[in-house]
Chains A and B, each alone.
Chain A
C-alpha cells in the first residue's frame, strides 16, 4: 500500500514541502521544485511594486496544477496582521490553506506562541486549514491540535540557520502526542537532518534555505528528498532499540580454539 500523507483532505505522496524564497533565479527554483518531487510549495504575500516593471507574481513560475500552494503569513508580528494576510491569501483563489507565522522577533525569528494560538482560533473558525509554525513546544502543539489546526509545524532550529534539529527530545514528545500530521519546518540544513526528523516520526519536512542556497539547488532538492524518504522508511521499518552495551552480530559459539 502506498505510504501517503493526508492534510486537510488533500493527499500527497511526497513528504517534502519546499519554500520558494531566496532562490538566485526563478529557473533554479523551478528546477529544484521539479527535482525534489515536492507537491507543496510555500509562498509569501507582498505589496506589488508598481514602479518595477519586472515585478511579477511567483505563481507565474510555479505550475499550480502540479503542486499545492501554501501561502504563509511571514512578516506578520501580531495575530491581527496574520489574520489579515491569511484572508488576502485566500482571495488568491488557490484554497484555504495557510501557514500561520506570527513572529515579532527579527533576530531569531522565533514564533510568538500566544499570537499564533489566537490567530489560529480565528482562522480555524473561518474555515481555514491552518498549518501553524511553532517552537518545539509540546504543550502548545496539543492546544493547537485541540482547536482544529490541520498540522503542527514545529521548528528544527531557527529559520534559515541550517542548525538541524536542536531539540529532538521535544520533537519526539510532539510526535508522540500528535493527532494531526507533524511537519518539521525550519533549520534543516542537509539530508541527514531531514532523515532524522522523519526517523523520529515526523510526517513531513518543510525546507527552503538549505535548497535555495545550495550551490546546486536542484541536486540538493533531490538529496533532501532522498533523506526524507530514507528517514520515513526507517521510521516505518521500526528501529532497533538503543542499548547501553554491545550485542555481537556474529555467533558467540563455535569460535575456533575456544572450548
Chain B
C-alpha cells in the first residue's frame, strides 16, 4: 500500500485505553471527522494482538486516513506508515525503509532544531510539545518560538503536537506548521467525530489564510530573511534562526564559538534558544594562537 502525505495533516493519536469507545470506533469517527492520519501507539501489545488491531483499524478508516504504527514493528507492514521516536536517532528512518519492500510513510518525533535538521529521509516530523499537555506532565513546552526554530531547519513538513485545540491551530499554521496532531482533544471528547471536525475546520481556515497571504504578495513562496551584522559584515539569515542555526549553517559547532549579541554574551547553553532579530549585531570569536 502506498500513501501520500495529505496536507494539511490532521493526526489523531490512539492508544489502548480503559473505557470509552473501542479504538476501531474512535478511528472511524476521527476519519469521518476529517483526520488524515491515525497513529496507533501500542508497541507494548503482544505482536499477534497488535497485528490484529492494526488490521481492524485499517478496515475501520476505509482509506480515509493513513494508519501509522508507532515503532518499527511488523504490524506496520499492514499499515500505511511508521512513526519513530526521537531517541532512536535519524538512522532509524533509513532502517525502517530499508527493511521493507513497500514504500511506507515514515515520520519522526523531534523536540529540537538539531533533531529536526538531522531527520533526512523522513516524510514528516512531529514537533512538540507546543503547549503544556497531559501526556507530558512537568516537561517544558517548546512554544511557538520553539516550533518556528524547528520549522526553519526541518527538511520535511512539520506537524505541531501538544495541547492543540481548535483555538490554537491558526498560530501553529501561521508559524509554518503543515498540520496538527492531537490525542486527548479527540479521544476524550463526548463526540470524537465532531471534535475532529472542529479541528479540521480550524485547520482548513488557517491553511487557506496562509495560502492567500503568500499568493497575494507574489506567486513565489515568501522567503523571510533577517538582516544582521556578524563580525562587522552584513549577513542575511533565515527568519526564525537561532544563534545555533547560524553557526550550524557555517558548519560550526556551538562548542568552539563565543557569541556576543548586541553587546551581551550569549551563554553557551542558550545558543539554540536565542533567536536572531533584524538589526542584531553579533561578534563571534574563537581562540587563536597568542602569547
| Chain A residues packing against B (C-beta within 8 Å) | 19-23, 29, 42-50, 53, 56-60, 69, 71-72, 74, 84, 87-89, 91-93, 159-160, 186, 206, 208-209
Contact = CB atoms under 8 A, between A and B. Distances in A.
Nearest to A94: B287
Contacts of A208: 291
Contacts, number: 94
A91 B255 CA distance: 10
A122 to B, nearest CB: 15
B252 interface: yes
A49 B284 CA distance: 9
24 contacts: A20-B289, A21-B289, A21-B290, A21-B291, A29-B289, A42-B290, A43-B288, A44-B288, A45-B288, A46-B285, A46-B286, A47-B232, A47-B283, A48-B257, A48-B284, A57-B286, A59-B287, A88-B283, A88-B285, A91-B267, A92-B258, A92-B287, A159-B291, A206-B291
A22 B291 contact: yes
A47 B289 CA distance: 13
Given A50-B230, A91-B268, A44 B289 contact: yes
B231 interface: yes
Given A19-B289, A20-B290, A84-B260, 16 more contacts: A19-B291, A21-B288, A21-B289, A29-B289, A47-B284, A49-B231, A57-B286, A57-B288, A74-B290, A88-B260, A88-B265, A88-B283, A91-B259, A91-B268, A159-B291, A206-B291
Interface in B237-291: 250-252, 256-260, 265-268, 283-291
Contact of B286 (A21, A45, A206): A45
B231 A47 contact: yes
Contacts of A59: 256, 286-287
A53 to B, nearest CB: 8
A74 B287 CA distance: 12
B256 A87 contact: no
Contacts of B251: 53
A39 B174 CA distance: 55
Given A45-B285, A48-B284, A48-B286, A88 B291 contact: no
A118 B170 CA distance: 55
B290 A72 contact: yes
B290 A57 contact: no
A43 B268 CA distance: 19
Contact of A48 (B231, B260, B290): B231
Interface in B23-79: none
Q: Could you say which of A21, A43, A57, A60 has the most chain B C-beta atoms within 10 Å of its C-beta?
A: A57
Q: Could you say which of B265, B266, B288, B290 has the most chain A C-beta atoms within 10 Å of its C-beta?
A: B290
Q: Could you say which of B232, B256, B288 has the most chain A C-beta atoms within 10 Å of its C-beta?
A: B288
Interface string B166-202: 0000000000000000000000000000000000000
A57 B258 CA distance: 11
A57 B253 CA distance: 11
A48 B285 contact: yes
Contact of B290 (A19, A56, A84, A88): A19
A43 B258 CA distance: 14
Contacts of A58: 286-289
Given A47-B231, A50-B250, A42 B284 contact: no
A85 to B, nearest CB: 8
B287 A88 contact: no
Contacts of B232: 47
Q: Could you say which of B260, B268, B291 has the most chain A C-beta atoms within 10 Å of its C-beta?
A: B291
B251 to A, nearest CB: 8
Nearest to A207: B291
Please give me the 7 A-B residue pairs with the lowest Cβ-Cβ distance, nearest first.
A44-B290, A19-B291, A208-B291, A21-B289, A57-B256, A43-B287, A57-B286
A50 B259 CA distance: 14
Contacts of A71: 287
Contacts of A23: 289
Nearest to A133: B291
B238 to A, nearest CB: 16
Given A88-B285, A91-B268, A45 B291 contact: no
Contacts of A159: 291
A80 B113 CA distance: 36
Nearest to A85: B285
Contacts of A84: 260
B271 to A, nearest CB: 11
